[in-house]
Structure formats: C-alpha cells, structure tokens
Amino acid sequence: MNDEHLILATLETYQLAFAEKSVEKMMALFTEQGALGGIGTGEDEYLFGREAARNLFQRNFSADVDVNFQWGERFVEVLGDSAWVQATAQVSGTENGVAFSAPLRWTIVLAREEGAWKWVHRHVSVATSSQEQGTAYPDKED
C-alpha cells in the first residue's frame, strides 16, 4: 500500500474510533514523539499536547451523541517523512435524541514514525452558511 493510501486510512480509523467512542484507538492515531496540536469546532477546542487531546476526546465520548462522518474531497501531499491532508466531510448524528448535520473542513499534518503515519496536528472547522459564494466575508452572523 502506498503512502497516500496509508494516510487516507488514518481518516477511516479516526471515523471508526469516533463511532466506537474509543479514546485509546483515537490516541493511537496521534504522535507520541513530539508536539501535538489541535483545533476543533468548539470555541474552547484549541489544544496542545497529548493530555489535552485525550481530555477532549473523553469529553466528546462521554456525551449522549452518535456521530457519522461522510468523507468528501481528500487531497494528500507527502513531503519525505511529513505529509498533510486537506479534506471535506459531512458530519451527522444525534445529540440527546436531536438530529444534527454540518459541513466540515479538515487539515491534518502527519509525520512518519517507525513506518506508520501519525497525526501531529488536526484542524477542523465548520463551513459557514453566512458567506455567499463569490464573496470575501460573511454578510451575517451564523
């Protein structure tokens, strides 16, 4: 399997770990050898370090939420022992019995560690509906 396929497989692993609410499987995706950073969709989801990442996933998985990711466009660039992914996804599910759905945009930075690709940074944002196509800025608050 080439590097691009191995890297894209980490997105599927992330999706499965999230569905299983497995903190250990989630953390296995991330580097243990260096700095780890992450930015999520919540205002307080700005983290640095493995402990902060573990705490975030524990919080996410303790909620009464079922989540499904449907990956869209995915682009991979490999630069030696580093790589990055740019992707879109539709996340949907239920929280406390209430359905939700949101378009997400992802950037993931990876490093090759002992032959495996590990995430060193993950940034997820929600695409805003308050900015019309072809415009530079939102025209209203979300």
User: What are the pLDDT digits (tens) for 45-62?
Assistant: 999 999 999 999 999 999
So what's the pLDDT on residue 130? Answer: 65
Q: Enter the pTM of the model.
A: 0.88
The pLDDT of residue 136: 66
Q: How many helices (H) and strands (E) does the chain have?
A: 3, 6
- Please name the amino acid found at residue 20: E
pLDDT surpassing 80 at residue 128? no
Q: How many CB atoms lie within 10 A of CB 53?
A: 22
The answer on pLDDT for 76 being more than 80 is yes
Is residue 67 scored above 80 in pLDDT?
A: yes
Q: Distance between CA atoms of 32 and 63, rounded to whole angstroms?
A: 26
Residue 133 pLDDT > 90, yes or no?
A: no
The stretch 6-25 carries a mean pLDDT of 95
Residue 131 pLDDT > 80, yes or no?
no
CATH topology for the 3-126 domain:
Nuclear Transport Factor 2; Chain: A, (3.10.450)
Contact 139, 129 (CB under 8 A): no
Side by side, the strands of the sheet bearing 37-39 are: 46-48, 37-39, 116-126, 98-113, 82-95, 65-79
Report, as an integer, the average pLDDT of 92-106: 92
